[in-house]
Chain A
Amino acid sequence: MTKLFEALHLSKRFGQQVVLEDITLSFEEGELAGIMGPNGAGKTTCFNVLTGRYKPDRGQVRFDGQDITGLPPREIARKGISRSFQIMNLFNDYSALDNVLIGMPQVRRQGFNPWRDLARDSGAQQAAAATLARVGLQGKEHSLARSLSYGERRALEIGVALAAEPRLLFLDEPTAGLGTEGTARLAELVQQLKRQLTIVIIEHDMPFLFRLADKVSVIHWGQVISQGTPAQLKENEWVRRSNLGALA
């Protein structure tokens, strides 16, 4: 497998607070990688740097051989990197279908078109409906995002990210707030997406992550302290001593 995405020696600080220190990560094409670590370890900040929300103070981010360090989120999204958010970030007054439509590249390319009625574009509508079906939201096309259940909103988060037809999908704590049933459904969805695209998941639910991931990186105090397959990590001394190992 070839390296699709690389983060090399990334550092980020906010004022005097060092949040990321010399982080190096790489994700291969078609791989499902996990990032774990305790609360406040810097996992979400790491995602935010990788997806353009924050510029790193030092280091380089490469995607498909291109240097994308410091590019704004829109540029990174257009290159084929999509993400979901830990705190849900949807277009709440839009229907589930419109949430997905807005994320589709074919709609984005017409973003300045002031004339065409999107509701008359049956091709785009069908593609959006297919994406919703992919995340298990068939029949919810015309429900407002705000009226969906928590689990459905989580699924829609992923649907919006998938609508962009990404090559690399970052999922930030997708199981947060989900019950056992919702987590199982999400695991099924991620399993289906696996191999279709490269996926990187930040997750606190260790059984969920260890069951799905090909490779897991552990971040603590803003540094990558360990990387390996789930089996290797279970044997890792630090992970075993920590609460994280016990949960897995």
Chain B
Amino acid sequence: MQSSPGPAPLLPVPMVIVAAILLSTPLWLSRVGLYQYLALEITIWMLFALGYNLLLSFTGLPSFGHGAYFGIGAYAFGLLQQRVWANLWFDLAGSLLATAALAGLVGLFISHRRGIYYALLTIAFGQVFWFLAMKWHGLTGGEDGLLNIKRPVADFGVASVNLASNEALFFFCLGVFCVVTLGLWRLVHSPLGRVLSAIKQNEVRAAFVGYNTWLYKWLAFVLSAALAGLAGALFAMAQHSAYPNVMSLNNSGFVVMMVLIGGGLVSFWGPLIGAAFFILARDLLGAYTETWLLWYGLAFVLLVLFKPEGVAGLWQDAVAKRRRKSGATAPTLPSAAATAAAAAAGPARNGAA
């Protein structure tokens, strides 16, 4: 992620485009042979991938066990609903906090590391949680998981919305997604976001200008995991269940692939592209062949080899090429005013583009 010159727009254009596309899915999805649950799942995975990208691309910390926190959120939601209080807001907040608390504990052991050691530790802790989910039958239901997780009514005070249908749950998840995305967008442009990116670029220098880099890395991990937990809670509602597979190493790998294929390393919006691409590939390719993951994996390998910046990188290249053709060379970052104007006009911004 590069420096982001000029103020960030309060309502970024890519956000509006993504929200509009998702919002319109009930109108056209069935006409193209797809179904609403697909949009629901894409929205949830987008949320997961965005939160993950805060850690991977903005802070430079590769977690390969993030599926565990997605799973913890799912289990926490189910357990709170079935054993404590079946209230949507309580269960969602509880699953988010439970995930944050466990991630906070794990973060204590890993935040002094980075690079390969960080990645290995996240895998190890992820496997611990997966093993617990498999073996702690009394709490998690073992291999069967927690079944019959309900979709509670969303009580907004003035009105209540029944989330039983996929459409209703989709709109609810879309609302959560929009709020979280705007919050993250603000965060990456805030002093906190700048410091996280500074730590990614040069942790030693960040320490020598006075930042407690350990604490920032811990915080980035907790925030990212908490968002994974929130996504997991929504997923538990979508699936009516929570099961060990959601916290498997596979799921951890999927979110990494989503972020990289989408171009999360060069763009804030990359994970959204990657999540949509992955879920659509799973359903569309999966309809033709059981080995869809093989083909997806090959696509991933090719992308990493030839365009590691992902789909967003391709888009940025195309925009840069078009600008060069029109004679607008920009060897340096543009002025704040110019950037603000460019940001208002389109999604191709440096850094958090």
Chain A residues in the interface with B (C-beta under 8 A): 51, 72-74, 77-78, 82-83, 85, 89-95, 97-98, 101-103, 105, 107-108, 110-120, 125, 140, 142-144, 147, 160, 163-164
Contacts and interface: CB of A to CB of B under 8 A. Distances in A.
B190 A108 contact: no
Contacts of B194: 98, 101-102, 107, 118
A116 B209 contact: no
Nearest to B5: A142
Contacts, number: 124
Contact of B334 (A111, A120, A142, A160): A142
Given A93-B201, A115-B190, A147 B332 contact: yes
Contacts of A118: 189-191, 194
Given A78-B210, A89-B205, A110-B191, 12 more contacts: A73-B208, A74-B210, A93-B2, A93-B197, A93-B201, A102-B209, A107-B191, A111-B211, A114-B187, A115-B187, A142-B335, A147-B332
B164 interface: no
A115 B186 contact: yes
Given A74-B212, A111-B195, A117 B2 contact: no
5 contacts: A89-B208, A108-B210, A115-B186, A117-B189, A125-B336
B210 A77 contact: yes
A105 B191 CA distance: 12
Contacts of B191: 107, 110-113, 116, 118
Contact of B202 (A72, A89, A98, A147): A89
Contacts of A111: 191-192, 195, 211, 216
A144 B3 contact: yes
B204 interface: yes
Given A74-B210, A101-B194, A116-B190, A89 B332 contact: no
B4 interface: yes
Contacts of A147: 331-332
A83 B208 contact: yes
Nearest to A109: B191
Contacts of A115: 186-187, 190
B210 A105 contact: yes
Contact of A92 (B190, B201, B204): B201
Interface of B: 1-8, 183, 186-187, 189-195, 197-198, 201-202, 204-213, 216, 219, 331-336, 351
A228 B5 CA distance: 48
A117 B5 contact: no
A107 B7 CA distance: 16
A107 B1 CA distance: 20
A164 B4 contact: no
A94 B192 contact: no
B210 A164 contact: yes
A153 to B, nearest CB: 13
A101 B194 CA distance: 9
B189 A119 contact: yes
Given A91-B201, A102-B198, A119 B208 contact: no
B262 to A, nearest CB: 19
Contacts of A114: 183, 186-187, 190, 192-193
Nearest to A110: B191
Nearest to B189: A117
A157 B269 CA distance: 32
Contacts of B4: 119
Contact of B336 (A119, A143, A144): A119
A77 B208 CA distance: 6
A172 B163 CA distance: 63
Nearest to A105: B210
A113 B216 CA distance: 12
Contacts of A91: 197-198, 201-202, 205-206
Nearest to B8: A117
Nearest to B338: A142
A48 to B, nearest CB: 10
Which of B191, B194, B205, B207 has the most chain A CB within a 10 Å cutoff?
B191
A115 B188 CA distance: 9
A119 to B, nearest CB: 4
Given A114-B192, A119-B6, A73 B333 contact: no
B198 A94 contact: yes
Nearest to B351: A93
A73 B212 CA distance: 9
